[in-house]
A and B are shown apart, each in its own frame.
Chain A
Amino acid sequence: MRVTFTVNGRRHEADDVWEGESLLYVLRERMGLPGSKNACEQGECGSCTVRLDGEPVCACLVAAGQAEGREVVTVEGLAEYAKERDGSEQTGDLAPVQQAFIDAGAVQCGFCTPGLLVAADELIERNPQPSDADIREALSGNLCRCTGYEKIMDAVRLAAARADDSAQEVV
C-alpha cells in the first residue's frame, strides 16, 4: 500500500509498504530518515520516540497506515521545529536541547539520544521549569544502555534553565 504523511514539515510518500509495517520502519528504511533508532521493537526502550500530531509515541508501535495524513516530527527535524516554536534567532543546526546534551556530556554511544531528545524537548515545551521528578517521569520510557542518566538529567536541567534565561531576556 501507499502511505503519505508529513515528516518534519515536508510531505513524504512511500510505496509498497507492507500493511503490518511500523512507522519506524517506514521512516528509517523507506524515507531515508534513520535518526529514530530501532532497538527493541516492543515499546520498551523509547529509542524510536517521535511526535505524532504533537504527542511523543514509540514509532515502532504505530502501524505505518495509522500515520496516513498526520504530522510526524523526528530528531532530524527537531532543530527546525524548536526554531519555529520558540521564534528565536537560534543559530547553528541544533535545537537548544541538542546543544545542552552536548554541553552536559550526555551522549555516550548515542543510541538512545534521538529518542531522549524528542522526549526532553516535548517536556520543556509543555513544562518549561520541570522538577527532577518531572524529568524522570517524562524520560521514564527511554532507556540508556550506557546508563548515563545523571548527565542526561543535567542536560535537561541545562536546556530548561537556558530556555528560562532567554525567555526572561525577551521580557
Chain B
Amino acid sequence: MEFLRPASWEEALAAKAEHPSAVPIAGGTDVMVEINFDHRRPTHLMDLNRVRELHEWEVGDETVRLGASVPYSKIIDELSAELPGLALASHTVGSPQIRNRGSVGGNLGAASPAGDSHPALLAAGAEVEAESVRGTRFIPVEDFYTGVKRNALAEDELIKSIHIKKADGPQQFSKVGTRNAMVIAVCAFGIALHPETRTVRAGIGSAAPTPLRARAAEDFLGAALEDGGFWDNGRTIPPAVAREFAELCSGACNPIDDVRGSAAYRRRAVGVMARRTLGWTWESYRATGNGRTTEGGAQCA
C-alpha cells in the first residue's frame, strides 16, 4: 500500500487521476473500519486532511458551500441556523469522537443507504460538486446515489463541496434506532418546509437500496396545502392530509428485512416519522409565520 499526502486540492486531483484506485480518506470513520477488519486493501490510501479548503465552508445568499471534510461537530456548532435539518441529522451520528472526524463528504463517498446526512440533504435540496482534472460537475444529490454503497463519482473524481440550500422554513430529522448514540439508522426521515416556493420536500433513509425523496408524498402535500390556502391562513393541517402524506411516504419505501428491522416495520416507522415531523415543522411554521427550527437536539418522537 502507498500513502499519498496531497498538500493541495490540485495535487489531490492529480494524484486521483494518476491512481484511480486510490481510496481517499477524510475522517476515516468508514475507511479505517474496513482496513482494520481487512475488508479493504487499497493500493493507495490518499489522505485528504491536508487539503485546507475541504475543511472550510461559506454561507452565501441562497446556499451554504460545505467543504467535503467539514466534520459533523462543526456543522452542529456553526451551521444549525442555515442548515437545521443537517445539523439535527449530524447530532445523531455516532458519538462525539465520530462527529469530530466524520464528514458529509465521507457519508456521500460511502453512500450507505443508512447514512444520516442523506435524508437531510434530500429535504433541504443540495448539489454535490465533483471535480477531476477533466473539470467540475454539479450533481443534484438525488442523482448522486446510484445503488447500495454506490455513487455517481467517476473513478478520477473527488467531492470538493456540497452546495446546500439555506433553510427558508422549518426542517426536521428523525431516526429510528435502539439507543440515542452510536446507532445505524433502522430508518430515517428528513423534512423541509419551503415557504418561499410553497413546497415541502421529504427524504427517506435506510428504507430502500438508496436514500430517496418521497416525491408522490411531496406533490400530494404541496397541492393540499396550496388548495387549502394553508401557507397563508396557517391553519392546522387536517389529520386526513397528514395521514395521506404519511402513507405516501411509507409507499415510497422499498425496504428489506435485515438484522436491524423488518421491511414491514421500516415502512410503518417511516410513516410515523413522516406524520410526526410534518406536525413539528408545521407547528413551528405556524408559530413564527416562517419559523426556523434551530434547537440543537433532535426531538424525541
Which residues does A use to contact B, with CB under 8 Å?
Answer: 1, 18-20, 22, 41-44, 46, 49, 55-58, 60-63, 65-66, 68, 119, 137-138, 140-142
The 4 A-B residue pairs with the shortest CB-CB distance in the complex, in nearest-first order: A141-B95, A140-B181, A19-B1, A19-B3
A119 CA to B95 CA, complexed, in Å: 11
Measured CB to CB, the closest approach of chain B to A105, in angstroms, equals: 24
User: Given that A42-B33, A61-B29, A66-B25 are contacting pairs, would A19 and B101 also be in contact in the complex, using a CB cutoff of 8 Å?
Assistant: no
Interface residues of B in 94-109 (CB under 8 A from A): 94-98, 100-101
Chosen A-B contacts, 29 in total, with CB atoms closer than 8 Å, are A18-B1, A19-B1, A22-B32, A41-B33, A41-B36, A41-B37, A42-B36, A43-B94, A43-B97, A43-B98, A44-B182, A46-B97, A55-B73, A55-B101, A56-B97, A57-B100, A58-B29, A58-B97, A58-B98, A60-B32, A61-B28, A62-B28, A63-B35, A63-B47, A65-B45, A137-B96, A140-B182, A141-B95, A141-B182
Q: Give a binary string over B213-249; 1 marks a CB under 8 Å from any A CB, 0 the rest.
A: 0000000000000000000000000000000000000
State whether A65 and B3 are in contact (beta carbons under 8 Å apart), knowing that A60-B36, A119-B96, A140-B96 are contacts in the complex: yes
Question: Judging by beta carbons under 8 Å apart, are B94 and A20 in contact?
Answer: no
Residues of A within 8 A of B1 (CB): 18-20
Residue B5 CB within 8 A of the other chain:
yes
> Which of chain B's residues have a CB closer than 8 A to the CB of A66?
25, 28, 47, 49
Q: Contact between B35 and A20 (Cβ–Cβ < 8 Å)?
A: yes
Q: Smallest distance from the beta carbon of B41 to chain A beta carbons, Å?
A: 7
Other 14 A-B pairs with CB < 8 A, given A63-B32, A140-B95, A140-B96: A19-B2, A19-B45, A20-B35, A20-B41, A41-B37, A43-B94, A56-B100, A58-B29, A60-B36, A66-B25, A66-B28, A119-B96, A141-B98, A142-B95
B residues near A61, Cβ cutoff 8 Å: 27-29, 32-33, 98, 101
Contacts of B5 in A (CB 8 A): 65, 68
Considering the chains assembled together, what is the distance between the CA atoms of A65 and B46 in angstroms?
A: 10
Contacts of B49 in A (CB 8 A): 66
Check B178 for interface membership: any CB of A closer than 8 A: no
Complex Cα–Cα for A139 and B213 (A): 34
Asked whether any CB of chain A lies closer than 8 Å to the CB of B180, the reply is yes
Using Cβ atoms and an 8 Å threshold, which residues of chain A touch B2?
19
A141: nearest chain-B partner, CB-CB:
B95
Nearest residue in A to B27 (C-beta to C-beta)? A61
Question: When chains A and B are docked, how far (Å) is the Cα of A63 from the Cα of B180?
Answer: 28
- Residues on B with beta carbons closer than 8 Å to the beta carbon of A60: 32, 36
- In the bound complex, what is the Cα–Cα distance between A55 and B33 (angstroms)? 20
B residues 2-31 near A (Cβ < 8 Å) are 2-3, 5, 25, 27-29, 31
Residues of chain B lying within 8 A (CB to CB) of residue A62 = 28, 32, 101
Kindly state the separation between the CA atoms of A42 and B34 in the bound complex, as whole angstroms: 9
The digit string for B76-106, where 1 denotes a CB below 8 A from any CB of A, is 0000000000000000001111101100000
By a CB distance below 8 angstroms, the chain B residues around A56 are: 96-97, 100
Q: Quick check: B97 and A141 within 8 Å, CB to CB?
A: yes
Most interface-central of A1, A63, A66 (chain B CB within 10 A): A66
A121 to B203, CA, bound (A): 38
Point out the residue from A22, A57, A65 that lies within 8 Å of B47, measured CB to CB. A65
Instruction: Establish whether residues B181 and A43, one from each chain, have CB atoms under 8 Å apart when the complex forms.
Output: no
B182 touches A138 (CB 8 A): no
Task: Map CB proximity to A onto B36-54 as digits: 1 under 8 Å, 0 otherwise.
Answer: 1100010001010100000
